[in-house]
Amino acid sequence: MSKLKIQATIDRLEEDQAVLLLVTPHGEVSVNWPVALLPQGVGEGSKLDFLINENRQAEAEARQRVSDLLDKLTGGSG
**Residue-range definition of the domain harbouring residue 51:** 3-74
What's the structural domain count of the chain? Answer: 1
pLDDT per residue as tens, the chain (78 positions): 678 899 999 999 999 999 999 998 889 999 999 999 999 999 999 999 999 999 999 989 999 999 999 999 998 765
2-6 long-range Cβ contacts below 8 angstroms, 24+ apart? 2/53, 2/54, 3/51, 3/52, 3/53, 3/54, 4/51, 4/52, 5/49, 5/50, 5/51, 5/52, 6/49, 6/50, 6/51, 6/52
CATH code for the domain in which residue 39 is found: 2.40.50
Question: Which pTM was predicted?
Answer: 0.70
